[in-house]
Chain A
């Protein structure tokens, strides 16, 4: 049985991230990766494959084509997995609210744990979201 404590223990060492960004999405996270805010000091590393990742960062608008790929990435991630959606595009469509080809609400398609608002979100907000991941793990069910 995988308990909450075990899940938390697995994750608390460090958060490994997989990025799935469309359009200007990665602009949001460049300062977080860079030396000024430097997410690696908290052990947050960007992995090369979703199979190694704990957290999926999704930013920017998802098109009807790319959401299928996002779903596949989500399904490849091991449990416990957390999805954090960055930016206003993933919440409401943002400035693309009347685009014929973009997904308006990300949580209609994959389960999102946390939305980080902003266009783009501040690096501090991204860190606060990363901190709240542990709280979400505590809320998860035992398997």
Chain B
């Protein structure tokens, strides 16, 4: 299977317009309701490897953009699936039922860094941020410098004054 055949199949199956960026590199944009269907379809087409999941924060648009990167060892095709979810109520279907181990750890990390809730993920406990009690740190409206000054530094301390300049 090559890129054009795959795009044709995606179009006939789901009506998705794919974009071939260059050889063996495809971008598609889908609705979040279709995510599980499209991913199950692609998994059957030998996309065995979920490389990573990434979240991009768009505060002005009020959305999180999730990007799933998949790789097929058989056809040597790299496909990136983009989908958008609401920023205020970030919830999406978990992919652990398809790519069990690799999806679980990425989703767990994104849950602690962006606060995205992955429905169906068995373990979303904090990964690096133990005892974290503030807003998710990778959101663009999280003022981490202010947080650090409040948590670690004292303005009255003569030695720590330079941190407040």
Q: Are A65 and B148 in contact (CB under 8 A)?
A: no
Closest chain-A Cβ to B162's Cβ sits at a distance in Å of: 10
Interface of A (DSSP majority class): loop
Contacts of A101 in B (CB 8 A): 128-129, 137
Contacts of B129 in A (CB 8 A): 64-65, 101
Q: Are A100 and B144 in contact (CB under 8 A)?
A: yes
Determine whether B130 belongs to the interface, using a CB cutoff of 8 Å to chain A. Answer: yes
- A99–B149 alpha-carbon span in the complex (Å): 10
Determine whether A98 belongs to the interface, using a CB cutoff of 8 Å to chain B. Answer: yes
Q: What is the total number of residues of chain B having a CB less than 8 Å from a CB of chain A?
A: 13
**Which B111-142 residues sit within 8 Å CB-CB of chain A?**
128-131, 137
Q: Are B145 and A98 in contact (CB under 8 A)?
A: yes
Determine whether A63 belongs to the interface, using a CB cutoff of 8 Å to chain B. Answer: yes
- Which of B130, B137, B144, B151 contacts A65 (CB under 8 A)? B130
Q: Using CB atoms, name the residue of chain A closest to B137.
A: A100
**Which A37-89 residues sit within 8 Å CB-CB of chain B?**
63-65, 68
- A64–B163 alpha-carbon span in the complex (Å): 20
Q: Are B144 and A98 in contact (CB under 8 A)?
A: yes
Q: Are A63 and B152 in contact (CB under 8 A)?
A: no
- Which of B144, B147, B152 contacts A104 (CB under 8 A)? B152
**Which A82-120 residues sit within 8 Å CB-CB of chain B?**
93, 97-101, 104
Q: Are B148 and A100 in contact (CB under 8 A)?
A: yes
Q: Are A65 and B128 in contact (CB under 8 A)?
A: yes
- A63–B128 alpha-carbon span in the complex (Å): 9
Contacts of A99 in B (CB 8 A): 144, 148
Q: Are A100 and B130 in contact (CB under 8 A)?
A: no
Q: Are A97 and B128 in contact (CB under 8 A)?
A: no
Are A97 and B144 CB-contacts (below 8 A) given A64-B130, A65-B130, A104-B152? Answer: no
Contacts of A63 in B (CB 8 A): 128
Q: Using CB atoms, name the residue of chain A closest to B145.
A: A98
Contacts of B145 in A (CB 8 A): 98
- A68–B144 alpha-carbon span in the complex (Å): 22
- A98–B148 alpha-carbon span in the complex (Å): 6
Best-buried of A63, A65, A100, A101 by chain B (most CB within 10 Å): A100
Can you identify 6 A-B contacts, CB atoms within 8 angstroms? A64-B129, A65-B129, A93-B152, A98-B148, A99-B144, A101-B137
Residue ranges of A at the interface with B (Cβ–Cβ < 8 Å): 63-65, 68, 93, 97-101, 104
Residue ranges of B at the interface with A (Cβ–Cβ < 8 Å): 128-131, 137, 144-145, 147-148, 151-153, 163
Given contact pairs A63-B128, A65-B130, A101-B137, a sample of 5 additional A-B residue pairs in the complex whose CB atoms are under 8 Å apart: A64-B130, A64-B131, A65-B128, A65-B129, A97-B163
Complex A-B, nearest 8 residue pairs according to Cβ-Cβ distance, in ascending order:
A100-B144, A104-B152, A65-B130, A98-B148, A98-B145, A100-B137, A100-B147, A100-B148
